[in-house]
């Protein structure tokens, strides 16, 4: 068996080479480098796929969160509640906006923020909640939304890992005041560089975010405020549009790969396979198992040509960056326990059943 990389972006490119190459050539020939038709087209297509009124594109998924926070008016003295387990973008943007991130433990089994632990963290400074649909699993969004409504808090969904996940027949990213997406190359819908967007049904918020991402101006030289430079470029937009016709099929294939893993790994006592929330669709950005002897298993797989990864080696509050808040393991018991057990196995639409079987057998052989 050839080596199995953790991600294989080339394999996907080869399946749609012609349409990608055409999209790039057209954009260059039309010199639509910044703004222009490709960006407008992608925004319209993505919004319509989600059935949402506005898609505001921006430079990356980190900026998307920052722009949403700023334009919802969150800043100095405010607190924003988020999950202990995510990529640092979710919390660093809270700090960048001037507010303080307040971390909540994850639910056992699902790796997403535990709604039962949110209310105890709400103070009169709390302004928003940012749940993350981590790995592609939808957070317990109805319960979180109910809390946000009860306390009059904004709800921003971090959808960087959950393109086309759904709960109760409704797409993740359509529940909150705004939802943020990353199109980093390795994400389920990936550009060939950095890219991101924010979805919202709020006309006023959409206009403000669009303005802020473009130096505070909707019309050239008419700066209604100061903003930032966070634009989606034409090449990335054209590449994303070329990929959109395939995204639902690719997402299905990820679910298929996950099913193959589930079947092969189900009877290994030392391994816990990912549980999918009832009444939901997981998009399997990552297939994360909990494994006894995780580090040794990872090494065993590497020796057998299988690349794996850990998302993430440390919960956010335990990073040096958040030392000042002094979170203890007792305070975040689930996150603390999982950090030594989680292992991400390769998952992408192009992965074959034979490859998944091989990976499954290598996991089995480690424990035998």
Binding site for ligand PLP (CB under 6 A): 60-62, 86-87, 89-90, 132, 158, 160-161, 182, 184, 194, 196
- Which CB, 60 or 308, lies closer to ligand PLP? 60
Q: Smallest gap, in angstroms, from Cβ of residue 187 to ligand PLP?
A: 6
> Which residue has 């709604």 as its token pair?
115
- Which CB, 297 or 332, lies closer to ligand PLP? 332
Q: Smallest gap, in angstroms, from Cβ of residue 304 to ligand PLP?
A: 28
The residues facing 83 across adjacent strands are 104
Q: Smallest gap, in angstroms, from Cβ of residue 232 to ligand PLP?
A: 11
Question: Is the previous residue joined to 312 through a cis bond, with omega within 30 degrees of 0?
Answer: yes
> Which residue has 């395939």 as its token pair?
246
Q: Smallest gap, in angstroms, from Cβ of residue 9 to ligand PLP?
A: 15
For residues 212 and 70, is the Cβ–Cβ distance under 8 A?
yes
Task: Please report how many Cα atoms fall inside a 13 Å half-sphere around the Cα of residue 204, on the Cβ side.
Answer: 4
Helix (H) or strand (E) holding 179: strand 178-182
> Which residue has 């989600």 as its token pair?
50
**Whose CA is closest to 128, among 117, 116, 138, 118?**
118
- Which CB, 39 or 160, lies closer to ligand PLP? 160
Q: Smallest gap, in angstroms, from Cβ of residue 62 to ligand PLP?
A: 3
- Which CB, 200 or 362, lies closer to ligand PLP? 200
Rg, the chain, Cα only: 21
Helix (H) or strand (E) holding 313: none
Q: Smallest gap, in angstroms, from Cβ of residue 282 to ligand PLP?
A: 15
Query: Reading across the β-sheet that carries 154-158, which strands appear in turn?
Result: 54-58, 196-200, 178-182, 154-158, 126-130, 79-83, 100-104
The residue of the chain with the least Cβ separation from ligand PLP equals 61
- Which CB, 60 or 283, lies closer to ligand PLP? 60
- Which CB, 78 or 157, lies closer to ligand PLP? 157
Query: Reading across the β-sheet that carries 287-291, which strands appear in turn?
Result: 271-272, 287-291, 342-345
- Which CB, 126 or 180, lies closer to ligand PLP? 180
Q: Smallest gap, in angstroms, from Cβ of residue 59 to ligand PLP?
A: 8
């Amino acid at each position: 068996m050839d080596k199995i990389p953790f991600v294989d972006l080339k394999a996907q490119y080869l399946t749609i080479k012609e349409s990608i190459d055409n999209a790039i050539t057209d954009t260059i020939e039309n010199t639509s480098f910044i703004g222009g038709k490709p960006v407008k087209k992608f925004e319209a297509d993505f919004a319509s796929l989600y059935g949402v009124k506005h898609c505001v594109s921006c430079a990356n998924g980190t900026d998307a969160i920052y722009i949403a926070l700023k334009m919802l008016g969150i800043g100095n003295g405010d607190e924003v509640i988020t999950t202990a387990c995510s990529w640092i973008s979710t919390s660093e943007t809270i700090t960048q906006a001037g507010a303080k991130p307040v971390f909540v433990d994850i639910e056992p089994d699902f790796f997403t923020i535990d709604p039962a632990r949110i209310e105890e963290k709400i103070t009169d400074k709390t302004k928003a909640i940012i749940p993350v649909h981590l790995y592609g699993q939808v957070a317990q969004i109805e319960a979180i939304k109910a809390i946000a409504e009860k306390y009059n808090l904004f709800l921003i969904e971090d959808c960087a890992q959950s393109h086309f996940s759904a709960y109760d027949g409704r797409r993740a990213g359509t529940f909150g005041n705004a939802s943020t997406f990353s199109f980093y190359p390795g994400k389920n819908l990936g550009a060939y560089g950095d890219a991101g967007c924010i979805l919202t049904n709020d006309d006023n918020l959409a206009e403000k975010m669009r303005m802020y991402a473009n130096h505070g101006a909707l019309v050239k030289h008419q700066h209604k405020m100061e903003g930032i430079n966070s634009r989606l470029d034409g090449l990335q937009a054209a590449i994303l549009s070329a990929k959109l016709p395939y995204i639902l099929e690719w997402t299905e294939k990820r679910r298929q790969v996950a099913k193959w893993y589930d079947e092969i790994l189900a009877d290994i006592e030392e391994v816990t396979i990912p549980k999918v929330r009832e009444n939901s669709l997981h998009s399997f950005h990552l297939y994360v198992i909990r494994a006894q002897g995780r580090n040794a298993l990872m090494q065993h797989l590497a020796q057998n040509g299988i690349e794996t990864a850990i998302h993430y080696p440390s919960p956010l509050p335990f990073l040096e960056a958040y030392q000042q808040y002094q979170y203890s393991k007792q305070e975040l018991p689930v996150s603390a326990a999982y950090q030594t057990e989680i292992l991400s196995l390769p998952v992408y639409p192009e992965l074959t059943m034979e490859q998944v079987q091989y990976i499954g057998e290598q996991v089995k052989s480690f424990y035998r």
